[in-house]
Structure 1
Amino acid sequence: MNRSDALVLHRRLRTPDPASLHCRELDLRLTDDGRHLVLCRHVELYGPERSLWGATHQHRVPLEQVVRWMVRQGEVPDSHGGAS
């Protein structure tokens, strides 16, 4: 998985104090074989000298399951083409 190919869903940068930076990012990408969708959450904290802390959490789901779920959740279009 190439991180540069990810779709960034959310990015937040904060400075809790003048000497630190807190970064959070949520991204979505496909695995190299295109069979799984991966949601990644990255959190990093930087201090005056270097990165103080960082963590990445990944949630991986087969793409086929995601598509089936979307189809089940979808709305059936009005077959009459107008409002009731």
Structure 2
Amino acid sequence: MASEQPALILEQRVSKHADSELHCHEVSLRLSNDRHHLILSHYTEHYSPQGSQWVEQHHQVPMNEVLHWFAQQAGHNA
């Protein structure tokens, strides 16, 4: 689910283990190309002497639902 919109990187982590394994993890947030959805992406990559694996997941929420939620939260905190 590639997007032309720039991402806000929420978390980025790389860890190396003594047994030569490398683990990469990234969580990012961006708008969809049509700007109607907010997309949360989660990417994990694992390298080892036996090979590599990666998993990429995307969750999207319509922007009108995000804005409605923000408005509700503001009402609760007023």
- C-alpha distance after superposition, 1:43-77 (max 9, x if no partner): 00123586x0000111110011001001101122x
Where does structure 1 differ by over 4 angstroms across 4 or more consecutive aligned residues? none
TM-score (norm 1): 0.78
Q: How far does residue 18 in structure 1 lie from its aligned partner after superposition?
A: 4.9
Distance 2:18 2:56 in 1: 23
- 1:37 is the counterpart of 2:38: yes
Distance 1:17 1:68 in 2: 47
Q: Which runs of 5+ in 2 are unaligned?
A: none
Distance 2:4 2:54 in 1: 19
TM-score (norm 2): 0.84
1:40–1:73 Cα change, 3 Å: same
Which residue of the partner structure matches residue 14 of structure 1?
A: 15
* C-alpha RMSD of the superposition: 1.8
Distance 1:37 1:10 in 2: 17
| Higher CA-based Rg | 1
Which residue of the partner structure matches residue 81 of structure 1?
A: none
Alignment of 1:30-69 (within 5 A): 30-48=31-49, 52-69=52-69
Identical-pair percentage: 32
How many equivalent pairs are there? 74
Q: Which runs of 5+ in 1 are unaligned?
A: 77-84
Distance 1:2 1:9 in 2: 18
